[in-house]
């Protein structure tokens, strides 16, 4: 932690500040160098616990925490064991489960084409209350059956607290969507399940905010966190490659990319998926279905199966 001092701090003010820091940060030895004080600790969470009090001390102009200090678990967690086949992760499937029969057929085709995980959304948090909201728990048995028959771990978004335990118990990988990245009670509930969680970055969220959300999951007991970059808008856009690359440097947690929600148009998705793979991402999430023209949600960005198979082949050639 670096504490920037106000200009013209008197000797008495500096002494009072040292005493206050010794009280607030026991066991540390703050070191003054010019206009700032550096402090390190074997338990960096203490900095965040005491931050409000330290920022408020007379003579302090600002307090800076590194990513490793602000998000100690996210920045030190080892790469988790994931339920997907080893190697580059390819989670594919329609935006939502819409119809049990066609979903099961699509799941098998996606597995044959190279998917290693299956999108299995039962709940759709939509910008419009008039838009299709998903089939809900009524479609859970069909989604599970389809995933099992295809041999793919299903990934499903949770939008409220009871869904976390319910869907984790049913064997789903949980997804926290972009809209809920800052829903801290939902993060705690998901973390407590211990199930693998795909954590989308909210549009506009900084690396620090994204990592802090991952920190919630880890702090509440979940080591299997997968970060997912999905662009900065809910309309057409692109992946934020810069933030994805920074995330890969800051943490050993897997970082995947969702070019479908980043681009909003299927013709842009393959190029962005390949760019993410070239940049070193651990995987991608791709919306793909047998008949995107009949999709009730996100059809415009959903790839057909042949297109998905061609993309999966290119991804495999790049990254085994």
> Are 295 and 260 contacting, i.e. CB atoms less than 8 angstroms apart?
no
- Report, in Å, the least distance between residue 260 CB and ligand PEP: 8
Among 1, 74, 95, 211, binds ligand PEP (CB under 6 A): 95
Residue 259: helix, strand or coil by DSSP?
helix
**Count of residues in contact with ligand PEP, rule CB under 6 A:** 10
> What are all long-range contacts of 133-138, with beta carbons under 8 Å and residues at least 24 apart?
134/96, 134/97, 135/96, 135/97, 135/98, 137/166
Chosen from Mn ion, ligand PEP, none, partner binding at 200 (C-beta under 5 to 8 Å by type): ligand PEP
Residue 273: helix, strand or coil by DSSP?
helix
Nearer to ligand PEP, 73 or 239 (CB): 239
CB under 6 A: which stretch of 68-76, 177-185, 236-244, 263-271 binds ligand PEP?
Answer: 177-185
Nearer to ligand PEP, 82 or 96 (CB): 96
In the numeric block, which tokens belong to residue 123?
A: 């709940």
- The residue among 161, 227, 157, 217 whose CA lies nearest residue 191 is 217
Ranges within 109-138 binding ligand PEP (CB under 6 A) = 121
The string of DSSP codes covering 231-242 is -S-SSS----HH
- Report, in Å, the least distance between residue 297 CB and Mn ion: 6
Nearer to ligand PEP, 28 or 272 (CB): 272
- Report, in Å, the least distance between residue 169 CB and Mn ion: 25
> Are 163 and 192 contacting, i.e. CB atoms less than 8 angstroms apart?
no
- Report, in Å, the least distance between residue 298 CB and ligand PEP: 7
- Count of beta carbons in the 10 Å neighbourhood of residue 28: 18
CB under 6 A: which stretch of 14-22, 39-47, 59-67, 173-181 binds ligand PEP?
Answer: 173-181
- Report, in Å, the least distance between residue 46 CB and ligand PEP: 33
Q: Interface residues with Mn ion (CB under 5 A)?
A: 95, 298
Q: HEC string of 15-35? A: HHHHHHHHHHCCCCCCEEECC
* Distance in angstroms (rounded) separating the CA atoms of residues 153 and 191: 19
Nearer to ligand PEP, 47 or 308 (CB): 308
- Report, in Å, the least distance between residue 301 CB and Mn ion: 7
Nearer to ligand PEP, 200 or 319 (CB): 200
* Distance in angstroms (rounded) separating the CA atoms of residues 69 and 302: 40
**Alpha helices for 170-287 (secondary structure H):** 184-193, 207-219, 241-250, 259-263, 266-278
- Report, in Å, the least distance between residue 282 CB and Mn ion: 21
Among 63, 200, 207, 281, binds ligand PEP (CB under 6 A): 200
Ranges within 204-263 binding ligand PEP (CB under 6 A) = 230, 258, 261
Residue 266 interacts with ligand PEP (CB under 6 A): yes or no? no
Footprint of ligand PEP on this chain (CB under 6 A)? 95, 121, 157, 177-179, 200, 230, 258, 261
């Amino acid at each position: 932690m670096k504490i920037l001092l106000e200009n013209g701090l008197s000797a008495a003010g500096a002494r009072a500040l040292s005493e206050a820091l010794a009280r607030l940060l026991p066991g540390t030895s703050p070191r003054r160098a010019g206009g700032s004080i550096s402090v390190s600790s074997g338990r960096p969470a203490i900095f965040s616990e005491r931050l409000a009090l330290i920022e408020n001390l007379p003579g302090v102009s600002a307090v800076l925490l590194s990513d490793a200090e602000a998000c100690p678990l996210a920045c030190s967690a080892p790469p988790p064991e994931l339920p997907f086949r080893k190697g580059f992760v390819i989670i594919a499937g329609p935006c939502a489960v819409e119809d049990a029969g066609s979903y099961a057929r699509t799941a098998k085709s996606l597995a044959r084409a190279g998917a290693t995980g299956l999108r299995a959304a039962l709940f759709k948090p939509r910008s419009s209350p008039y838009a299709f909201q998903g089939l809900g728990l009524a479609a859970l048995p069909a989604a599970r059956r389809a995933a099992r028959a295809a041999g793919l771990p299903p990934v499903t978004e949770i939008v409220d607290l009871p869904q976390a335990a319910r869907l984790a118990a049913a064997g789903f990988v949980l997804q926290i969507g972009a809209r809920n990245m800052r829903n801290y009670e939902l993060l705690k509930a998901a973390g407590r399940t211990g199930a693998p969680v795909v954590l989308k970055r909210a549009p506009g969220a900084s690396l620090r905010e994204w990592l802090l959300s991952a920190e919630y999951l880890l702090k509440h007991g979940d080591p299997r966190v997968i970060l997912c970059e999905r662009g900065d808008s809910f309309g057409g856009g692109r992946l934020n490659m810069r933030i994805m690359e920074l995330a890969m440097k800051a943490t050993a947690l897997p970082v995947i990319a969702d070019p479908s929600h980043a681009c909003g148009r299927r013709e842009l998705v393959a190029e962005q998926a390949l760019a993410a793979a070239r940049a070193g991402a651990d995987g991608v999430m791709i919306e793909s279905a047998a008949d995107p023209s009949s999709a009730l949600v996100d059809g415009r960005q959903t790839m057909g199966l042949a297109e998905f198979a061609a993309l999966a082949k290119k991804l495999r050639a790049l990254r085994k």
